A and B are shown apart, each in its own frame.
Chain A
Amino acid sequence: MLQITNLSASIDDKKILNGFNLKIKPGEIHAIMGPNGSGKSTLANVLTGKNGYQVEGQVLYQGKNLLDLPIEERAQKGLFMAFQYPLEIAGVNTNNFLKTSLNTVRKVRGLKELDSLDFLNLIKTKTKNLKIDEKILNRQLNVGFSGGEKKKNEILQMTILEPKLAILDETDSGLDIDAMKIVSDGVNSLRSKDRSFLIITHYQRLLDYIKPDFVHVLVDGKIAKTGCSELALELEKVGYGDMEPTSR
């Protein structure tokens, strides 16, 4: 699914990722943990193609060179990111945004675009399954949403777009237990043998609900340690303090 080799990224000559390596196979869930400033969000941004980074190294996504593709093509090919801070867009109806997004992606994938009625049926099912209040659909995209509503909206978008690889960038930060449950239910419901997840988080909490196959600890722009889900619990106790950057 995804193979990252010797990835470096800097902003204004400040190196943030430095010799980062990671391989994600179809169906796997990887969690990336690490202290603030270790490069977690940069990793998500570089993979999705956000501007402003000088990037070196190689990233293969489904066997193709990911770094050459514009942002929207990466998305159309099934790469999705749940944003840490979802953006507010005034005047744009949430329902419309989701429909436009889904139909753009469907068109590229050679599928028939959904008309309003089909889409409505789909979204009603999804919101119901996720226990998300349908009312957010008729509001302006993320405008005036609470932190929890914004994150739920990200998960809703994820379940609608059915990505191949979903990156969750600190989706759990600032969530209460109920919202956390919705987020993890969303991920668990999508879990399948050909879909992978990269879950970026600062806390272990989310991993009580989503069982990762691997946990990586990111320190100073590279993976300092890799383990199974117990590693997360261990980190919760001892913190990141004594974590020395080592090669994997």
Chain B
Amino acid sequence: MKDYLILIAGMGFVTFLPRWFPLFFLSKREIPKLLIEWLDLIPAAILSALLIPALVVGGEPKIMAFKPELLASIPTFLFALKTKSLGGTVVVGMALYWLIGKGLLPFFGL
């Protein structure tokens, strides 16, 4: 148990550090305008970098594949674009993915 405590304390420390450093130091400084403009683009970049591989890359070793995640993502994306509702998109996305998993979508001509 002692070894385990050291392990999770170490993991916790190295996880906390990058989360904490910019918030602690950047919030007290003037941030250069160019950096602000760059940081402004970071969320779109990160979200896309997190999302797109989850839709089209699978397997071990990794390969590009046509996944049900991708099929469900198209109507989910359109729903999000139309409604701008986070909760609604989550529920609709889950329902679509579930239906695709059940093989029900062909019955609706999709």
Note whether A and B form a binding pair.
Answer: no
Chain B residues within CB distance 8 Å of chain A = none
Which A residues are closer than 8 A to B by beta carbons? none
